[in-house]
Amino acid sequence: MSSEIIFEPFRIKVVEPIRLSTEDERRQWLADAGYNVFLLRSEQVVIDLLTDSGTAAMSQEQWAALQAGDESYAGSKSYFELEAVAQELFQKRVIIPVHQGRAGEHLVFHELIERGAVVPSNGHFDTTAANVRDRGGTPLNLPCAAASQLRTSAPFKGDIDLPALKALLESHHEQIPFVLMTITNNTGGGQPVSFANLSAVKELCTEFRKPLIIDGCRFAENAYFIKMREHGFADESPKAIAQRVFALADIVTFSGKKDALSNIGGLVCLYDEELAERLKNRLVVTEGFSTYGGLAGRDLAAMAQGLREVVEPSYLHYRIRTIEWMVERLDRAKVPVLIPAGGHGLYIDAAAFFTHLSPEQFPGIALVNELYLRGGIRAVELGNVAFGSTDESGKPQFPPHDLVRLAMPRRVYTEAHAGYVVEIILSLFRQATQVRGYRFVKEAPVLRHFRSTFAPLD
Ligand SMILES: Cc1ncc(COP(=O)(O)O)c(C=O)c1O
């Protein structure tokens, strides 16, 4: 199309009203929630950007597929439809459904990881790292150098550091069960991984005789970035690029709650029939029979249809462009936003946003709470609280960056919603020095951002 305007490539048929609230109401609700937005009720939120996981709006074809879902315990027709779509896309013979991504991680790692193992990756998602640790292994992130430069643009900040991976494969060869690549790299800001980087990882895996696992949660967004940014891919479809990417992997773990446009579901896809047998035997104990894996038949059907839709270029163009559009506006006003834009959300460097707050005053929590108070926007802190800890002497330990993520649910919000979010961030940025920090009231022992409570500092 010739217009410069990129609009949402869908019409809205069913609407969910948003309850608009006042700042006074939100002030009370946030205090009642212990200043932790995870403890709010969803009706108390105006624009919910907590996560892009399981929050997509389904299409009319997906809703129709739900109706046609086959609820047979074994051999469901919906399973075989999903199997055919997934075999073609993920380029694997065996397709095992699971109830969500982490169940697939648990299943695969249970078979492949032994105590003392070291798992290298461009970036483990937090449940992935937790599942490695659960088996007595150590997750090791080897992000490329560009990943740590938040305000410097580079096309593929999700890449793994290849020399570091090679050195590790040489020094810890016996302890490494596989290499894990996450596309896009959620932990690194939803940044994409290039085809060149994935191919080079595959070559190293072949040289050192290690399987390559791809955590493909956001494979379609990653494929679109490859198409737009990597030399030689401009004329290929996102689907063809995704197929080339997945052909490199021995095993794919996948959460359907992201790029299957579904509200629940996941997959493990692989070639190795012998390993697949072991996984299916365990699946019966943990998730269910191998043609439903903890899901209703209708969920399998919705995932199959979502996998067809998510690789549509017009959808991906609108999706990636919405976040880019927000980031461009914030960047222009010097808001310390991670650049370039990631695939599923925008990330703000809270320490640089509130330069008057020290790390102990939790700038990330202050930013999340202020976005909620001023605009009813729910974001998530992925910084000093989520990834920090208190050591045995009571001294706080902080991660390198105190980030706040605003994740965009798929097909849920329009450009006007995006514009509103930008406006609230810009007005807050202009008054940043007026914002106070926070202290813990109750510090949760693990994954602190979910359940801790806070109080504003005087
Ligand atoms: C990269 C990545 N891997 C795995 C998972 C886990 O998927 P699920 O939430 O479906 O268990 C997530 C969830 O956000 C993720 O972002």
Decide: 182 in ligand 1 pocket, CB within 6 A.
yes
Residues 411-450: tens digit of each pLDDT? 999 999 999 999 999 999 999 999 999 999 999 887 788 8
In this prediction, what percent of the chain has a pLDDT beyond 90? 93
197 Cα: distance to centroid of ligand 1 (angstroms): 22
Check whether residue 321 and residue 301 sit in a common domain.
Answer: no
Is the domain of 384 the same as that of 257?
no
**Does 409 fall in a domain?**
yes
For residue 53, which atom of ligand 1 is closest to its CA? Answer: 14
Q: How far is the CA of 232 from the centre of ligand 1 (A)?
A: 30
pLDDT tens digits for 47-63?
999 999 999 999 999 99
Query: Is the CB of residue 264 below 6 angstroms from any atom belonging to ligand 1?
Result: no
Tokens read off for 190? 């939803």
Sheet of 179-182, strands arranged across? 94-98, 266-270, 251-255, 212-215, 179-182, 118-121, 138-141
Last residue of a domain, one of 287, 309, 331: 309
pLDDT at 1 over 60: no
Closest atom of ligand 1 to CA, residue 265? 10
Q: How far is the CA of 17 from the centre of ligand 1 (A)?
A: 28
Is the beta carbon of 266 within 6 A of some atom in ligand 1?
yes
Question: What H or E segment, with its residue span, contains residue 372?
Answer: helix 363-375
Q: Is residue 17 part of a domain?
A: no
Q: What are phi and psi of 245, to 5 degrees?
A: -65, -50
Rounded-to-integer distance, Cα 279 and Cα 211, Å: 16
* pLDDT value at residue 458: 85
Q: Are residues 33 and 83 in the same domain?
A: no
My answer on whether 321 and 232 are in the same domain is: no
Domain count along the chain: 2
Q: The domain spanning residue 165 has which CATH number? A: 3.40.640.10
Q: For residue range 320-371, list pLDDT tens digits in order.
A: 999 999 999 999 999 999 999 999 999 999 999 999 999 999 999 999 999 9
How would residue 18 be classed by pLDDT, with cut points 50, 70 and 90?
A: very high
Residue nearest to ligand 1 atom 9, measured at CA: 101
Residue 181 host element (H or E): strand 179-182
What is the number of residues in the chain?
458
**Residue 428 sits in a domain of what CATH number?**
3.90.1150.10
**Whether residues 402 and 281 fall in one domain:** no
> What is the DSSP annotation of 81-106?
HHHHHHHHHHT-SEEEEESSHHHHHH
| Residue 266 domain-assigned (yes or no) | yes
Q: Is 215 in the pocket of ligand 1 (CB under 6 A)?
A: yes
Give the whole-angstrom CA distance, residue 357 versus residue 384: 12
Whether residue 75 is predicted with pLDDT greater than 90 in this model: the reply is yes
Q: Is residue 5 part of a domain?
A: no
36 and 73 assigned to the same domain: no
pLDDT of residue 2: 63
Task: Pick from 109, 258, 262 the residue to mutate for probing ligand 1's pocket: most ligand atoms within 8 Å of its CB.
Answer: 258
Mean pLDDT score across all residues of the chain: 96
Nearest-5° Cα angle at 153, 201 to 447: 70
285-296 mean pLDDT:
96
- How far is ligand 1, taken at its centre, from the CA of residue 121, in Å? 15
C-alpha distances in Å from residue 200, one per residue of 19, 106, 166, 167, 196:
50, 27, 10, 14, 6
Structural domain ending residue among the three candidates 264, 280, 309: 309
Which residue has its alpha carbon closest to ligand 1 atom 2? 125
Q: Is the CB of 257 under 6 A from ligand 1?
A: yes
Query: 400-417 in b/e burial notation, b at 16+ Cβ within 10 A?
Result: ebbbbbbbbbbbebebeb
Q: What is the pTM of this model?
A: 0.96
35 and 170 together in one domain:
no
Q: Does 344 sit in the ligand 1 pocket, CB within 6 Å?
A: no
**Which of 55, 125, 131 most suits a substitution to test ligand 1, by most atoms within 8 Å of the C-beta?**
125
Residue 35 tokens read as: 């200043």
- For ligand 1, whether the C-beta of 101 sits within 6 Å is yes
| Own/partner long-range contacts of 38-45 (Cβ < 8 Å, ≥24 apart) | 38/380, 38/449, 38/450, 38/451, 39/451, 39/453, 40/372, 40/378, 43/19, 44/19, 44/376, 45/372, 45/376, 45/377, 45/378
At residue 129 the predicted structure's pLDDT band, cuts being 50, 70 and 90, is very high
Domain boundary among 274, 309, 344: 309
152 vs 325: CA distance, rounded Å: 17
Max intra-chain CA distance, the chain:
63
Mutate to test the pocket of ligand 1, among 51, 55, 107, 127 (most ligand atoms within 8 A of CB): 127
* Any domain includes 180: yes
Give distance in angstroms: CA of 257 to centre of ligand 1.
8
How far away, in angstroms, is 368 Cα from ligand 1 center? Answer: 22
- Per-residue confidence band for 391, with pLDDT thresholds at 50, 70 and 90: confident
Residue nearest to atom 14 of ligand 1 (CA): 53
Indicate if 355 and 244 belong to the same structural domain.
no
Token pair for 150: 């938040």
Claim to verify: residue 392 and residue 267 sit in the same structural domain: no
Both tokens of 378, joined, read: 């729910």
Per residue in 150-196, pLDDT tens? 999 999 999 999 999 999 999 999 999 999 999 999 888 899 999 99
Residue 444 domain-assigned? yes
Give, for ligand 1, the residue of 50, 102, 132 to mutate: max count of ligand atoms closer than 8 Å to Cβ: 102
Whether 13 is in a domain gets the answer no
Domain residues for 328?
23-52+312-456
How far apart, in Å, do the first and last CA atoms of the chain sit?
A: 55
Q: Does residue 419 lie in a domain region?
A: yes
335 and 286 belong to one structural domain? no
Spatial distance between the Cα atoms of 105 and 103, rounded to a whole number of angstroms: 5
Residues 121 and 248 in one domain: yes
Task: Determine the pLDDT at residue 389.
Answer: 87
One domain for residues 294 and 380: no
- 62-71: pLDDT as tens digits: 999 999 999 9
